[in-house]
Amino acid sequence: MAAKKKAAAPAEQKARNSADVIVLGGGHNGLVAAAYLARAGIKTILLEARGELGGMALTADIDGVNAPMLAHTVGRFRPRVARDLGLAGSVRLVEPEVRSFAPHPTNGTSITLYRDPEKSAKELEKRPNGKATAAGFLKLDGRLRRIGAYFEQVLDGVPPDLDGGKSVAEMLAGFAFRKPFTDLKEGDGREILRILPMSASDLVGEYIQHDEHLLAMLAWRGAIYNAVGPMSPGTAATMLFDGITGDGADGGAAGQTVVAIGGPGALATALADAARGFGAEIRTGAKVVAITEQDGRVTGVALASGEEIAAPYVLSTLDPKTTLLGLLGVEATGPDLRRRLRATRSSGVTAKLNLLVDKLPTFTAAGKGEAAEQTLRGRIVILESILGIEKAFDASKYGQISETPVIEALIPTLIDPSLAPDGRHIISCVVQYAPAVLKDGEWDEPTRKAFADSVVAQLEQVAPGITRLISARQLITPADLQSDWGATGGHAMHVNEGFDQFAQWRPLYGIGRYETTIDGLFLSGAGTHPGGGVTGAPGANAAEALIRHLRRAAD
Amino acid sequence: MAERYNAIVIGGGHNGLTTAAYLAKAGLKTLVLERRSILGGATLTESPVPGYKFSVASYLVSLLRPQVIRELDLAKHGLQMAPSVGTYTAHWDGYLDRRTDHADTIREIRKWSHKDADNYDDFKQTVTDITRFIRPAIDIPAPDPYGDPHEWLDYAGLAKDFGHLPLRTKGALLDLITGSAYDFLSRWFEGEPLVGTMSASGIIGTFLGIKSPGTGMVFLHHYFGEIDGSFREWALPQGGTGAVATAIANAARFHGATTRTDAPVKQILLKGDRAIGVVLESGEEIHADTVVSAADAKHTFLDMLPAGSLPNDFERAIRNFKFRGSSAKVNFALDGLPTFTAAPPGTGHLMGTVSISPSPDYMEKAYDDAKHGHPSHRPFLDMLIPTLVDPSMAPPGKHVATAFVQYAPHKLAPEHGTWDDIKESFGDLVVDTISEFAPDFRNKIVGRQIMTPLDLERTIGLTEGNIFQGEILVQQMAFNRPVSGWARYKTPIKDYWLASSSAHPGGGIMAAPGRLAALEILKSKAGDE
């Protein structure tokens, strides 16, 4: 470990080889952080190991068609970040009328949820026990929106310090982010303190009692991207974040569906342009192998090329294990932090399968023609029941690929036809559960093919004939996320989301407020509050924490 | 009209008896009404096999509050407890036998992992620091987040202490409150039997697996264990757990309380918004100034009150309170001790807990079955042979083994029918599971008693067979137990109180809810005067 390298670079060294702050990682959070820092007049260099920027928000060219390589929706991107960085003119976001569409895999029925909850409720009324279900859905939606308005405010700040409170009341208020919390009605405040540790299926189950398919469809939002099932406690917290409402965000029970025109990569490009515009230097192909430090104080970074860059501050948007276990030695981090961080859950179970099809397949339950095209603009969720999802999850706990994984597909070409030149479509599928490390065997070609085949076979159930339309497939497994994107454990959210790795204890209590125990090292990215997804919030919050720190130091 | 009482306590389990004893001791004319013909509730010793005494439901005492032992002088009223020493874990490739001697324990752990042995002391220290910090909370009513600031005064010291805890302890405490027992333990340990057995503390009585977040809280709940001031020890009462209830009943009667068995309560008598007594199934009415329920939240609020007497929000919250019983109890009469294939010489390893929890995967798979409505194909078992400590439980030379079995989900998948349909085959499964590690076990059995979750529900009155009268889940603890805003034993019905394990701090043979409810009732009466 190249920890104790040379001290701060000599003053006469080339400007190119020193900065005030080095940002690690050119994903959307790194780009947001670099933009905020540069905007504050801080000399910032961003280093990205891969040849291209965007991290997990990438647009990939498949046979001349632009596909969202990993993330495919950007609904939770923080409006205030877009405002602060002046992105309004450079990125166009589209929110389809349909939020999600769930064709039942076996019985031919389907559920469609809309941006307008009343419209969703009207549709739900037509189902068996529909009156009670529709009423329950509206109640749940209302509750999630009111609580979501609170979480909307919580996303944009540093989680409060739990230490030094004068009373337990202050401490509790600290847990709950005091000001927005005391603004809540008492009933909603009590509900937050009750719901946070719950499972998504228990939460939704209090409102939806007679519709297994809808229950699963809604509770799934608490488990997507994470190595948990909807019955795992703590998944309600993930749902609450997904349901945020206010300042342009509009979640509720159905969750958000927002697509960036040009693909998620367009957002990354706009962010990179903004960062450069504020004066940040951005370098790709620059793999960092060590954060250098001396006596517990950051001195810069060392690159794989042998080059060293000096800086008193490093803000890392890489996953916490890479940053603290991989780039620093035990003498800097200490054994206790290392032990706790190693046990942090970061095993990924989510794969991505992009399918290129010659024309739009027919989803039986959606019908045909323009109406079908409208319905298919939302997220297409293929699942059956809570226990069905749990069964798929169970397999992954023992290193097995689920036989019937949950699929959440998006057809971005329906919203943005410019992505495909000639009427072809991309079907972008988030597939869960498939573990990064397999108990028997490896993610070799036969395994990958069999897995992709099984996903297509499941799609075939709800969209007969789809198999014949596929002209290209691109599969990204959690193992690829680890090897190609450097995410320890292959987790798209860096560390598992849920109440157990949340707020000021994401990734761990003591380093959950962006500042770490190592002087000059700030942690950001999906592994910090408020977690993964294309929000830009961890990047902005961490950068602002660092800016405040620098101003205090200057005073 | 019949006699009038100051207080009626519904339910003669250990909590109801404790409440009655405290109220009677304070001079209240108190009546305990028990549905069954025997007192004790789930704290019960019976002899379904003649000559053999079983702790029918509960089996170990770890959490009984020292205040209760002292303040009710339970030793004088007949309570004798012997420490239960050590835990023996059977494994396919050997065993792990931890007893009281520290050096021996480390040696045993080192057989499985050097790392674990090196980390053991650090783990113990961390957990000790956490429990020392948080334990006072068991003996104080839970403060309400929107409550009177006075409610928080008792906790002010705790908050100050939190600030002074080292970062690692604070972090570990948060990890326990929010995370899984398995994740917590895996910071220190990797050995299959050690992690398997220790993680079991995170699932007892809860419908979750060792890897489910939230089980850290259950683990913490079990590590509160202390007997009469000595830390982290479990004990066996002489005469089975029923002896605890008997001693508390003796204390209650000593202070003047009356106990009546075979007196099931049909309904609470209300006058306006106030409880004024009870009606028994027999039609008899008994009036009192105060009515206390030591039954669980469902019986207390949904079964015994006239429909429509509760505020809607409160009633909905009670309907959302989760029970989900996940365990069964199988008690055996044996004509000799079983021989475990992999075990040290002698019978010392059988003196404490015999645990069938050989690995984390074994435990988690047991949960997977239950999640889908099946009894675990290979369940986790916690077995005691109390006759090794208390020979009076069986005829001379004979033994009793009592096995806590998880998972036995109250709600079965349709293909199983009811618990009555699969009761005997479930008993056989438990025998098979033990016999896998002790092949002669099945030949020593002369009688058995199977308490399925349905039996626990019907016989003992535990809703859905949940041994804690409500799952130990983070969202159902402290100020949320059983309902946010109503966690301090008071209920929306005036003069009607809750004193069962459905209230803070929850289940186990603690007698804490019973004691705290009595103290709150007395405080409220003092305020009225």
Inspect the interface and report whether the beta carbons of B145 and A202 lie closer than 8 Å.
no
Q: Which among B180, B187, B364 has CB closest to A339? A: B187
Closest residue on chain A to B159 (Cα): A168
Instruction: Find out whether B379 and B358 touch, Cβ atoms under 8 Å.
Output: no
> Chain A contacts of B171, Cβ < 8 Å?
340, 505, 508-510
HSE-CB for B515 with a 13 A CA cutoff? 19
Q: Rounded to whole angstroms, how far apart are CA atoms A498 and A506?
A: 9
Q: Rounded to whole angstroms, how far apart are CA atoms A513 and A511?
A: 6
* A394 Cβ under 8 Å from any chain B Cβ: yes
Taking residues B177-194, report their average pLDDT. Answer: 95
Question: pLDDT tens digits, residue range A477-493?
Answer: 999 999 999 999 999 99
Q: Rounded to whole angstroms, how far apart are CA atoms B206 and B213?
A: 12
Nearest to residue B390, comparing CAs of B400, B377, B378, B405? B400
pLDDT the model gives residue A205: 98
pLDDT at residue B118 is higher than 70: yes
pLDDT the model gives residue B2: 61
pLDDT at residue B137 is higher than 70: yes
Instruction: Find out whether A538 and A526 touch, Cβ atoms under 8 Å.
Output: yes
Which of B126-130, B341-345, B508-512 is predicted least confidently? B126-130
Q: What average pLDDT is seen over chain A?
A: 92
C-alpha torsion sign, points A427, A430, A434, A437: positive
ipTM at complex level: 0.95
Mutate to test the interface with B, among A194, A206, A398, A497 (most CBs of B within 10 A): A194
* A339 Cβ under 8 Å from any chain B Cβ: yes
What string of DSSP letters covers A324-381?
Answer: IIISS-HHHH-HHHHHHHHTS-----EEEEEEEESSPPP-GGG-SHHHHHHHTTSEEE
State the nearest Cα–Cα gap between A416 and chain B, in angstroms.
40
What string of DSSP letters covers A443-457?
Answer: S-HHHHHHHHHHHHH
pTM: 0.95
Question: pLDDT tens digits, residue range A26-47?
Answer: 999 999 999 999 999 999 999 9
pLDDT at residue B138 is higher than 90: no
Which of B33-37, B113-117, B221-225, B447-451 is predicted least confidently? B221-225
Mutate to test the interface with A, among B169, B173, B361, B371 (most CBs of A within 10 A): B371
Q: Rounded to whole angstroms, how far apart are CA atoms A539 and A524?
A: 6
Amino acid residing at A228: V
Q: Within its chain, how far is the Cα of B464 from the centroid?
A: 15
Q: Which two tokens stand for residue B287?
A: 């009036």
Inspect the interface and report whether the beta carbons of A233 and B474 lie closer than 8 Å.
yes
Q: Which among B320, B368, B485 has CB closest to A394? A: B368
pLDDT band at A178 (very low <50, low <70, confident <90, very high): low
Question: pLDDT tens digits, residue range B487-510?
Answer: 999 999 999 999 999 999 998 899
Q: Which among A167, A189, A196 has CB closest to B159? A: A167
Question: pLDDT tens digits, residue range A280-301?
Answer: 999 999 999 999 999 999 999 9
pLDDT at residue B260 is higher than 90: yes
> Chain A contacts of B213, Cβ < 8 Å?
197, 228, 232-234, 498-500
pLDDT band at B226 (very low <50, low <70, confident <90, very high): low
Taking residues A358-376, report their average pLDDT. Answer: 96
C-alpha torsion sign, points A3, A9, A15, A20: positive
Which residues, 6+ apart, have CB-to-CB distance to B468 below 8 Å? Answer: B205, B206, B501, B506, B507, B508
pLDDT at residue B9 is higher than 90: yes
pLDDT the model gives residue A169: 54
Instruction: Find out whether B258 and B28 touch, Cβ atoms under 8 Å.
Output: no
> Chain A contacts of B318, Cβ < 8 Å?
none
Q: Rounded to whole angstroms, how far apart are CA atoms B506 and A399?
A: 36
